[in-house]
Structure 1
Amino acid sequence: MIPELQSQLNDQSLPLFHRYRAMFRLRDLGTKEAVLALATGLNDPHSALFRHEVAYVFGQLCSPYSVPALIECLRNTQEMAMVRHEAAEALGSIGAEEAESILLEFEKDNERIVRESCVVARDMWEFERSGEMEYAVIPA
């Protein structure tokens, strides 16, 4: 099932609806194999929006298996800023130890949206590792 979904995810001839359905099915499966298959969507050669959505799904999924692909995406300065921004935020949501240094590094990125996303993501990362129950408590 996962190889078939991966094939649909990456098939440029399919309507986007079918590709997104494969993306969400892989997300819902959530296994290591499904996450690794989903990561191949970050290599879509034609659609930055599609790559952005894959990174967004990784932020929802919070799987440590997506961390290497997200780090690679954030490090790729040839990638569109909106994709890198989403990769940064996903890394913050996951809270993996190895994400801290990359987020700190890219707080100095040339792209403002990437810099600011890394600041927010590092704050999210700190929260995820803190054991706190509420991310942002607003005093009454």
Structure 2
Amino acid sequence: MEMEQRFDNKDETYFKNLVDHKDYVIRTRAVCILADISGEKAIESIGRVLLNDSDQLVRHEAAFSLGQLGHTRGIDVLSKAVLEDPSFFVRHEAAVALGVIGSEQSRKTLEQALNDESEEVRESAMIALANLDYIAHVQRTNKFTSLTGG
């Protein structure tokens, strides 16, 4: 109930503090809510979660949230996750998120991910690269390109 009230009040500080909570369910929820209420201002906090949280589900949700935010400021941490996260689950979602963001800055990382040991990561990188190719061809980004990015 308290989380819902804090959400209604758009209490960014409350949710920034919850990304360090001991319960992974609360951390996961906090990441998603923080992205919603803080937008681009949440990228740094969510990026720290992506690179440092002990739970792969929480890191996965951080990658997803960065993709949904769609800001190029999330590319560096997503790229690091694609190439270095120990979980294929997280690497896959980070590749998808890069495709959703749709920036050429991600191409080199996604091309490297085509050699990942995980088929899921390789396929996600292929889809993300196809979106980059489409964006380059039509020379625009919009809701369609975000929805088809990964």
- In the superposition, the TM-score normalised over structure 1's length comes to 0.81
Would you say 1:52 and 2:60 are equivalent positions?
A: yes
From the two aligned structures, give the one with the greater helix fraction.
2
Unaligned runs of 5+ in 1: none
Question: 1:49-108 CA deviation, whole Å, 9 max, x = no partner?
Answer: 1111111112211111111110010110x5200100000010011012210111111112
Q: Is the 8 A contact 1:26 1:35 kept in 2?
A: no
Using a 3 Å threshold, how does the CA distance of structure 1 residues 55 and 118 change in structure 2: closer, same or farther? same
Secondary structure in 1 matching 2:114: helix
How does the TM-score come out when normalised to structure 2?
0.76
2-structure distance, mates of 1:58, 1:40: 11
- Percent identity (aligned): 29
Q: Contact conserved, 2:114 with 2:121, CA < 8 A, in 1? A: yes
Contact 2:15-2:30 within 8 A present in 1 as well:
yes
Contact 2:98/2:106 (CA < 8 Å) preserved in 1? yes
Change (3 A) 1:7 1:89: same
How many angstroms apart in 2 are the aligned matches of 1:19 and 1:109? 28
Pairwise CA distance, 1:125:
2.3
Aligned to 1:30, the other structure's residue is in SS state: helix
2:101 aligns to what? 94
Alignment check: 8 A CA contact 1:44 1:51 kept: yes
